[in-house]
């Protein structure tokens, strides 16, 4: 690849604590890309895409798959439950989306075993009040085995019998841990072995080295979209550790995951809600416990795609967003769910935090005890009391809604390039004429039909 590569690629990541609406944004942009890439996490993610009367909930497979012309890749930093991936492939097939021939899975990804799920649950129960609130999909235990260098990688799926035998040996060790440390029931290894061997047989043809294929798209100047899961504040290193997921959610992780140069990634768009939600434990400075929080949850339908858990809701936290924009190097913000704020009298935004000693913080500190002692400093903006649902361009936004968006831009220091005002594809518009806005517009044009081959 040329050193002076002008990337035709773009990376979309979560700018908050996950669930920002990445699925919809990626789906929109996928209309104009040749390839979509998931690079981190596993089925802890739940990316929702609505198209006409169809509703897709994707957990492993890139949201770009809904578009029949898009080739999809899953990178090495992902954790893969073979049975779960197959279920998703079959589910898409039932909804008329043909996956086979369009999906490649890195041979270097980590396999999630049924015992990883059991360990995730047992460890969460043992943590008691200090639980992380994981999705119990086995994500943390699978990544732990990877770091411990006893995980099975997806390359082994090409040898189904050997794969199942190795899996049994690892699961025996897990079963001992489940019994001895947690007094939990062991997983039925024979049933697991059969299921895993069968899954490996079906998944083997998808296993590939994905880096050269992704670089091939780029060298042909075909647009590639990298799709992050979770969000910056859940990143293993830069998030609110230990209340984080076990992978990196930042743009750089995509390069590591796919085995491609960082310069191949293109501009970074951070998806942020017009307010904030969080699922699971951990600090949340702007959380609302009362009626306004309930209102946001209800109007925003803030219940987990993966676990169904009610999400914690709060005001937009510009200090956290400023931090996320800095560590992820965001070039633009895709602001979602603006319409959820439509009937509020006033809207608050945390612009910084203040400590008990009066010290001010413009970003969240790493130390959670310190963060827990801080109070958000709010600015209050008037509500717009008008429907923004389905607004199709910036000019049609109520003046106060526009002022709210501009206020967030100034506070975070990053332009808002896309606004979403409803769950459907059409309920979106691009803001401004920057090169990034133009690139988004180009990618969004030519919306096609789900599952159609072109
Ligand atoms: P895990 O990723 O299942 O280990 O969960 C760790 C933390 O990340 C928990 O607080 C989860 O609720 C949160 N989490 C993981 N995946 C997502 C996601 O896709 N959206 C929102 N929160 C997530």
User: What's the angle, vertex CA 285, arms to CA 23 and CA 228, rounded to 5?
Assistant: 20
Give the fold, CATH level 3, of 9-101+209-447.
Answer: Adenylosuccinate Synthetase; Chain A, domain 3 (3.90.170)
Name the nearest CA neighbour of 231 among 262, 268, 285: 268
The helix/strand/coil state of 158 is helix
C-alpha–C-alpha distance, residues 298 and 366, integer Å: 32
Looking at ligand 1, which residue's alpha carbon is closest to its atom 2? 245
- The residues of the chain that CATH labels 1.10.300.10 are 110-206
Distance 104 CA to ligand 1 centre (A): 25
Does 234 sit in the ligand 1 pocket, CB within 6 Å? yes
Looking at ligand 1, which residue's alpha carbon is closest to its atom 5? 134
Looking at ligand 1, which residue's alpha carbon is closest to its atom 15? 44
pLDDT, tens digit, 9 for 90 and up, residues 263-302: 999 999 999 999 999 999 999 999 999 999 999 999 999 9
CATH number of 110-206: 1.10.300.10
Q: What is the pLDDT, as a whole number, of residue 424?
A: 84
Does 137 sit in the ligand 1 pocket, CB within 6 Å? yes
Tell me the DSSP string of 280-347: SSS--TTB--SHHHHHHHHHTT-B-TTT-PBPEEE-EEHHHHHHHHHHHT-SEEEEE-GGGGTT-SEE
Distance 135 CA to ligand 1 centre (A): 6
Q: What is the pLDDT, as a whole number, of residue 454?
A: 35
Going by pLDDT thresholds of 50, 70 and 90, the confidence category of residue 449 is: very low
Distance 307 CA to ligand 1 centre (A): 10
Averaged over 52-62, what is the pLDDT? 88
Averaged over 32-53, what is the pLDDT? 90
Does 43 sit in the ligand 1 pocket, CB within 6 Å? no
- The residues of the chain that CATH labels 3.90.170.10 are 9-101+209-447
Looking at ligand 1, which residue's alpha carbon is closest to its atom 10? 280
Q: What is the pLDDT, as a whole number, of residue 390?
A: 82
Going by pLDDT thresholds of 50, 70 and 90, the confidence category of residue 446 is: low
Whether the pLDDT of residue 347 is over 50: the answer is: yes
Whether the pLDDT of residue 387 is over 70: the answer is: yes
Q: What is the pLDDT, as a whole number, of residue 307?
A: 79
Does 419 sit in the ligand 1 pocket, CB within 6 Å? no
Name the nearest CA neighbour of 339 among 420, 261, 416, 230: 420
Residue 283, classified by CB atoms within 10 Å of its CB into exposed (0-12), middle (13-18) or buried (19+), is middle
Window from 34-43, 46-55, 108-117, 410-419 with minimum mean pLDDT: 46-55
C-alpha–C-alpha distance, residues 152 and 110, integer Å: 6
Does 140 sit in the ligand 1 pocket, CB within 6 Å? yes
C-alpha–C-alpha distance, residues 440 and 28, integer Å: 9
Does 279 sit in the ligand 1 pocket, CB within 6 Å? yes
Annotated catalytic sites, by residue?
19, 47
Q: What is the pLDDT, as a whole number, of residue 452?
A: 42
The residue to mutate among 57, 118, 245, having the most atoms of ligand 1 within 8 angstroms of its beta carbon, is: 245
Averaged over 180-184, what is the pLDDT? 96
Whether the pLDDT of residue 83 is over 90: the answer is: yes
Name the nearest CA neighbour of 76 among 188, 207, 197, 204: 207
Q: What is the pLDDT, as a whole number, of residue 6?
A: 52
The residue to mutate among 13, 22, 44, having the most atoms of ligand 1 within 8 angstroms of its beta carbon, is: 44
Does 420 sit in the ligand 1 pocket, CB within 6 Å? no
Residue-averaged pLDDT of the chain: 94
Distance 198 CA to ligand 1 centre (A): 29
Whether the pLDDT of residue 47 is over 90: the answer is: no
Distance 285 CA to ligand 1 centre (A): 18
Whether the pLDDT of residue 94 is over 90: the answer is: yes
Q: What is the pTM of this model?
A: 0.95
Whether the pLDDT of residue 2 is over 60: the answer is: no
Does 35 sit in the ligand 1 pocket, CB within 6 Å? no
Residue 119 has which token pair? 């360990």
Q: What is the pLDDT, as a whole number, of residue 7?
A: 60
pLDDT more than 90, % of the chain:
89
Respond yes or no on whether the N-terminal peptide bond of residue 215 is cis (omega within 30° of 0): no
Q: What is the pLDDT, as a whole number, of residue 1?
A: 42
Averaged over 172-181, what is the pLDDT? 97
Which atom of ligand 1 is closest in space to residue 134's alpha carbon? 5
Distance 210 CA to ligand 1 centre (A): 26
pLDDT, tens digit, 9 for 90 and up, residues 153-173: 999 999 999 999 999 999 999
Q: What is the pLDDT, as a whole number, of residue 429?
A: 94
C-alpha–C-alpha distance, residues 422 and 157, integer Å: 40
Averaged over 63-77, what is the pLDDT? 96
Looking at ligand 1, which residue's alpha carbon is closest to its atom 1? 134
pLDDT, tens digit, 9 for 90 and up, residues 11-27: 999 999 999 999 999 99
Which atom of ligand 1 is closest in space to residue 136's alpha carbon? 3
The residue to mutate among 143, 241, 280, having the most atoms of ligand 1 within 8 angstroms of its beta carbon, is: 280
Whether the pLDDT of residue 4 is over 50: the answer is: no
Looking at ligand 1, which residue's alpha carbon is closest to its atom 21? 18
The residue to mutate among 134, 141, 240, having the most atoms of ligand 1 within 8 angstroms of its beta carbon, is: 134
Distance 385 CA to ligand 1 centre (A): 33
Provide the greatest CA pair distance for the chain: 64
pLDDT, tens digit, 9 for 90 and up, residues 217-235: 999 999 999 999 999 999 9
Strand 312-314 relative to strand 276-278, pairing: antiparallel
Window from 75-79, 126-130, 241-245, 250-254 with minimum mean pLDDT: 126-130
Q: What is the DSSP letter of 358?
A: S
Distance 143 CA to ligand 1 centre (A): 14
pLDDT, tens digit, 9 for 90 and up, residues 391-440: 888 899 999 999 999 999 999 999 999 999 988 888 999 999 999 999 99
Distance 284 CA to ligand 1 centre (A): 14
Beta-bridge mates of residue 162: none
pLDDT, tens digit, 9 for 90 and up, residues 113-130: 999 999 999 999 999 988
């Amino acid at each position: 690849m040329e050193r002076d590569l002008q990337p035709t690629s773009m990376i979309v990541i979560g700018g908050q604590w996950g669930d920002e609406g990445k699925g919809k944004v990626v789906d929109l942009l996928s209309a104009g890309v040749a390839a979509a890439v998931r690079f981190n996490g596993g089925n802890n993610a739940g990316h929702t895409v609505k198209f006409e009367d169809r509703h897709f909930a994707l957990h492993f497979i890139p949201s770009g798959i809904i578009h029949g012309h898009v080739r999809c890749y899953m990178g090495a930093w992902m954790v893969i439950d073979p049975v779960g991936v197959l279920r998703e492939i079959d589910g898409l097939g039932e909804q008329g989306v043909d996956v086979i021939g369009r999906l490649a899975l890195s041979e270097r990804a980590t396999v999630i075993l049924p015992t990883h799920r059991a360990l995730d649950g047992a460890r969460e129960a043992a943590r008691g009040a200090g639980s992380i609130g994981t999705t119990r999909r086995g994500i943390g235990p699978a990544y732990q085995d990877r770091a411990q260098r006893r995980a099975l990688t997806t390359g082994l799926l090409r040898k189904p019998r050997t794969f199942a035998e190795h899996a049994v040996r690892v699961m025996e060790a897990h079963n001992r841990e489940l019994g001895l440390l947690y007094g939990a029931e062991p997983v039925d290894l024979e049933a697991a072995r059969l299921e895993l061997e069968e899954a490996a047989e079906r998944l083997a043809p998808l296993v590939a080295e994905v880096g050269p294929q992704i670089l091939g798209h780029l060298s042909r100047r075909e647009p590639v979209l990298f799709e992050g899961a979770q969000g910056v504040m859940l990143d293993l290193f830069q998030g609110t550790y230990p209340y984080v997921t076990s992978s990196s959610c930042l743009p750089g992780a995509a390069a590591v995951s796919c085995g491609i140069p960082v310069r191949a990634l293109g501009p970074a768009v951070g998806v942020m809600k017009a307010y904030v939600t969080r699922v699971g434990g951990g600090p949340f400075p702007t959380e609302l416990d009362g009626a306004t929080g309930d209102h946001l949850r209800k109007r925003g339908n803030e219940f987990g795609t993966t676990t169904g858990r009610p999400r914690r809701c709060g005001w937009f936290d510009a200090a956290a967003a400023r931090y996320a924009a800095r560590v992820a190097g965001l070039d633009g913000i895709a602001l979602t769910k603006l319409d959820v704020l439509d009937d509020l009298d006033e809207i608050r935004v945390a612009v910084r935090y203040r400590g008990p000693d009066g010290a001010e913080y413009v970003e969240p500190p790493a130390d959670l005890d310190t963060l827990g002692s801080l109070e958000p400093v709010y600015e209050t903006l008037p509500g717009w009391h008008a429907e923004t649902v389905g607004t199709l361009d910036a000019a049609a936004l109520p003046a106060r809604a526009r002022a709210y968006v501009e206020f967030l831009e100034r506070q975070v220091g990053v332009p808002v390039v896309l606004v979403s005002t409803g769950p459907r594809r059409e309920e979106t518009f691009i803001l401004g004429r920057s090169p990034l806005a133009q690139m988004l517009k180009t990618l969004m044009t030519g919306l096609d039909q789900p599952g159609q081959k072109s």
